[in-house]
Amino acid sequence: MKELVDILKHTKTHLMNGVSYMIPVVVGGGILMAIAVLLTGEGAAPGWGSGIPYWLWTIGVDALGLMCPVFAAYIAFSIADRPGIAVGMAGGFMALNIPTGFADGAVTTASAGFIGAAIAGLLGGIIAHYLKKIPLPKSMQSLKSIIIIPVIGVLAVGIIMFACGTPIAAFMTWLEDVMRNMAHGDHGSLALAGISALAALMIAFDLGGPVNKVAYSILMVAFVGTGIYTFAAPVGIAICVPPIGCGVASLILKKKFSKEEQNAGIGAIAMGFCGITEGAISYTAADPTRMIPINMISSAIAGGIAGLLGVGAKMSACWGGLIVAPVIQGESFLAGWPLYIICILIGVAIYVALCAIFKKDYVEKEEVVEDIDISFE
């Protein structure tokens, strides 16, 4: 029981491990899908039947389809090491196909999505962890990893997911409907602005940390995977505002930053262009009480404006920064990449202004050298 409590106590660590392994799959698939859209300009979910764009889109979709299985597999890996991978991955696939009933002689299924994959990964890891403890003679130990854990583990997590996955799948279906209706309803803009601002706050709070990854994984990755692109652009904007903002501020407001920070300014801007929000970490760590609020406020305003104006309603790339700007499309031309870039510029301008107002001038710390008395007596 103590071991189970310890596993659950470190749930956040296990989830973050799953996210860190999932992100390369998401980025690879999302960028390929974005390139396909860029080559044709036909929207976020084209129905081409041949040609290079079609194959790029198909490969990207297939890669993105691995998101939940990989996520679940490496949650289980974090708990049970290598024996947990197969059990967790199987659970992640099952989370995408939960039986819900019968229609026309066939089984109907629904997806439990990102939440279902997280639960499957935790279950798979816990089951594999305890199966590893089955006592066997030394000559039969190899049977654990080859037969016992995969067979019993996959069967156990499958039974649990089939028994308990229906409510999760129903919740995810309801949530997707809510998000789609919100995007097209009469009061959608204000609601989208609020959620977009909240997502941007989370993205900018810890710059790639757990809170950032929750917002990125759910409001961008999970929803884009189900065809909801509404929040992708606000999240993509929030990802790049802090690194670009601190880089620009360090070059303009030189009295506020150290020489090292000024020299790193171009690099921070480049990282922001590429959607790497960690480019702002060194600046934030040097003055967290001022820089964390500046990161959050500027990103929230930029993300909220993007949500209010419906920027990037057809953004299919699961990434941020200016690198994805060419593939961002909206309900109108203006609501595509032009407003996306404008929102980034607004966020950066607010960032620099807040630094000018609230950040103190940098004072070089003098190195104190103490006198050392040397005695030969």
Number of domains in the chain: 2
Quick one: pLDDT at residue 197? 92
Does pLDDT of 225 surpass 70? Answer: no
pLDDT over 50 (residue 208): yes
pLDDT tens string 348-370: 999 999 999 999 998 876 555 55
Which has more pLDDT, 184 or 242?
A: 242
**Domain for residue 376, yes or no?**
no
Higher pLDDT: 251 or 26? It is: 251
Measured distance CA(95)–CA(39) in Å, rounded: 33
Examine residue 168 and state whether it is found in any structural domain, yes or no: yes
Burial 113-123 (b: 16+ CB within 10 A, else e): bbbbbbbbbbb
Closest among 93, 69, 90 to 149, alpha carbons compared = 90
Q: Give the pLDDT band (50/70/90) at residue 187.
A: very low
Which has the minimum average pLDDT: 38-42, 202-206, 244-248, 347-351?
Answer: 38-42
46 shares its domain with 123:
yes
DSSP of 46-108, one letter per residue? ----SSHHHHHHHHHHHHHTTHHHHHHHHHHHHHHSTHHHHHHHHHHHHHT-EEEEEETTEEE
Q: Region 130-141: what's the mean pLDDT? A: 86
What integer pLDDT is reported at residue 375 of this predicted model?
A: 55
In-domain check, residue 375: no
Q: Is residue 364 part of a domain?
A: no
End-to-end CA distance of the chain: 65
The mean pLDDT of 262-274, rounded to a whole number, is: 91
**153 and 201 together in one domain:** no
DSSP one-letter string for 326-353: GG---SSSTTTHHHHHHHHHHHHHHHHH
Question: Do both 151 and 245 map to the same domain?
Answer: no
DSSP 363: -
Is residue 343 in some structural domain?
A: yes
More confident site: 285 or 124: 124
Last residue of a domain, one of 149, 180, 211: 180
User: Higher-confidence residue: 225 or 162?
Assistant: 162
Q: Which two tokens stand for residue 273?
A: 């262009």
Percent of the chain with pLDDT over 70: 85
Same domain, 200 and 321: yes
Mean pLDDT over each residue of the chain, to the nearest integer: 83
Are 302 and 343 in contact by the 8 Å Cβ rule? The answer is yes
Residues 103, 193: one domain?
no
On whether residue 228 sits in a domain, the answer given is yes
Number of H helices, E strands in the chain: 17, 2
- Which residue, 154, 166, 167, 169, is CA-closest to 124? 154
State the Cα–Cα distance between residues 39 and 43, nearest whole angstrom. 10
Q: Residues 230, 307: one domain?
A: yes
Which range among 41-50, 200-209, 284-293, 332-341 shows the weakest confidence by mean pLDDT? 41-50
Decide if 52 contacts 344 (C-beta within 8 A).
no
Q: Are residues 225 and 207 in the same domain?
A: yes
The residue ranking higher by pLDDT, 175 or 84, is: 84
User: What's the whole-number mean pLDDT along residues 225-229?
Assistant: 71
Task: Please check whether residue 377 lies inside any domain of the structure.
Answer: no
How many degrees, rounded to 5, is the angle at CA 244 between CA 243 and CA 246?
65
My answer on whether 250 and 332 are in the same domain is yes
Quick check: 224 pLDDT over 80? Answer: no
**Do residues 214 and 304 share a domain?**
yes
| Together in a domain, 142 and 262 | no
pLDDT one-digit tens code per residue, 244-263: 999 999 999 999 999 989 99
Those residues with Cβ within 8 angstroms of residue 265's Cβ, 6 or more apart along the chain or in another chain? 246, 247, 248, 250, 251, 257
Residue 217 pLDDT grade (very low, low, confident, very high; cuts 50, 70, 90): confident
- Side-chain-side CA neighbours of 371 within 13 Å: the count stands at 2
Asked, for residue 335, whether it belongs to a domain, the answer is yes
- Residue 154 is classified by DSSP as H
Reported as a pLDDT band with limits 50, 70 and 90, residue 44 is very low
Alpha carbon distance 197, 199 (integer Å): 5
pLDDT at 223 over 80: no
Alpha carbons 214 and 278: distance in angstroms, whole number: 15
**Which residues, 6+ apart, have CB-to-CB distance to 156 below 8 Å?**
127
> Alpha-carbon distance 220 to 203, whole Å?
11
**Does residue 37 sit in the same domain as residue 164?**
yes
pLDDT above 90 for 372: no
Q: What is the Cα–Cα distance from 60 to 74, expressed in whole angstroms?
A: 21
Range list of β-strands (E), the chain = 98-103, 106-110
Domain termination site, one of 128, 151, 180:
180
Between CA 80 and CA 143 the distance in angstroms is: 16
| Residue where one domain finishes, among candidates 145, 180, 215 | 180
Residue 325 sits in which domain range?
A: 185-358
Q: How many Cβ atoms from other residues are within 10 Å of residue 372's Cβ?
A: 5
Query: Residues 152, 6: one domain?
Result: yes
Residue from 20, 128, 24 nearest 74 by CA: 20
